[in-house]
Amino acid sequence: MNKQTVGFIGGGRIARIFLAGWTRAGKMPAHVVVADPNAQALAQLKARYAAVETTTDLAAAAAQDIVFLATHPPALTEAAGAAARALRPAAILVSLAPKFTLAKLSALLGGFSRLARSNPNAASVVGFGMNPIVFAPALDAADRAAVHALLAPLGESPEVAEEKIEAYAVFTAMGPTYLWFQMQALRELAVSFGLAPAEADVALKRMVCGAARTLVDSGLPPAEVMDLVPVKPLAEMEPQVLELYRTRLPALFQKIKP
């Protein structure tokens, strides 16, 4: 069990993702405080994680050893202002938001510099998250190890250059939303075609992971990979989907870039 106490400023999806991942891995930190202005959201969280302390007082979450800033960018300035007054000098604040650089966060926090940033991925729920992390220079090896210890049960947390965080936000953080609805449709169809649900689940995981590995690891050019299967029942929708990818995602990337 991690001895460091943990605070979340913002008790929404990403807080729930981390709590679910830690619970599943049997690595729930000893003391977790989640602060959110939404009392209903806190009640739901408390119903699922009885040991977690929930509060509408942001300062209570900000006063922990490792503090995750888990609000959306529009609420972040206000949340950081409230956090600044309560942060302990030895605390580490990890922002999970895009757009707010370490320099900007430090300015919002009155010069506090013990900072890190990540843009995590929802597969952390099952310990397969892709959670890139960047540390501010003020954090030493022990501080970094403490953050890595919290992230390790959630998946991979490679250290990356800060300017890449927004690329990961559009790619790996939002990425599951591009694919999940298609996977679920396939999963349901497989059962309607006669597979048992358990068979469909095993096959889906194998097929999706195998398709990604073939594209990345086979050594074949992408066009050759995509030509390995001659029958493409959905081929006529590809131009539309590619058009959406190539317009929406760069526009979003421009919007969240610092």
Task: Judge contact between 134 and 160, C-beta under 8 A.
Answer: yes
Contact with ligand NAP (CB under 6 A) among 20, 25, 60, 75: 75
Rounded to a whole number of angstroms, the minimum distance from the CB of residue 207 to ligand NAP is 23
Task: Judge contact between 42 and 67, C-beta under 8 A.
Answer: no
| Residue span binding ligand NAP (CB under 6 A) among the ranges 5-13, 24-32, 104-112, 214-222 | 5-13
Rounded to a whole number of angstroms, the minimum distance from the CB of residue 96 to ligand NAP is 4
CB burial readout 70-84, b (16+ within 10 A) else e: bbeeeebeebbeebb
Contact with ligand NAP (CB under 6 A) among 2, 5, 7, 10: 10
Residue 41 within binding range of ligand NAP, rule CB under 6 A = yes
Task: Judge contact between 9 and 83, C-beta under 8 A.
Answer: yes
CA 42 to chain CA centroid, nearest Å: 20
Rounded to a whole number of angstroms, the minimum distance from the CB of residue 176 to ligand NAP is 8
**Token pair for 53:** 């302390």
Instruction: Point out the residue whose Cβ comes nearest to ligand NAP.
Output: 12
Nearer to ligand NAP, 180 or 245 (CB): 180
For 57-121, the three-class secondary structure string (H helix, E strand, C coil) is: CHHHHHCCCEEEECCCHHHHHHHHHHHHCCCCCCCEEEECCCCCCHHHHHHHCCCCCCEEEECCC
User: What is the gyration radius of the CA atoms in the chain, in angstroms?
Assistant: 20
Residue 64 within binding range of ligand NAP, rule CB under 6 A = no
Residue 96 within binding range of ligand NAP, rule CB under 6 A = yes
Contact string 166-205 vs ligand NAP (x = CB under 6 A): -------x--------------------------------
Contact with ligand NAP (CB under 6 A) among 43, 51, 78, 244: 78
Residue 71 within binding range of ligand NAP, rule CB under 6 A = yes
Nearest to 32 by CA among 40, 41, 11, 24: 11
How many other C-beta atoms can be found within 10 angstroms of the C-beta atom of residue 145? 11
For 201, counting Cβ atoms within 10 Å of its Cβ (0-12 exposed, 13-18 middle, 19+ buried), the class is middle
Residue 11 within binding range of ligand NAP, rule CB under 6 A = yes
Nearer to ligand NAP, 13 or 232 (CB): 13
The residues of the shown chain that bind ligand NAP, judged by CB under 6 A, are 9-14, 17, 35-38, 41, 58, 70-73, 75, 78-79, 96-98, 119-120, 122, 173
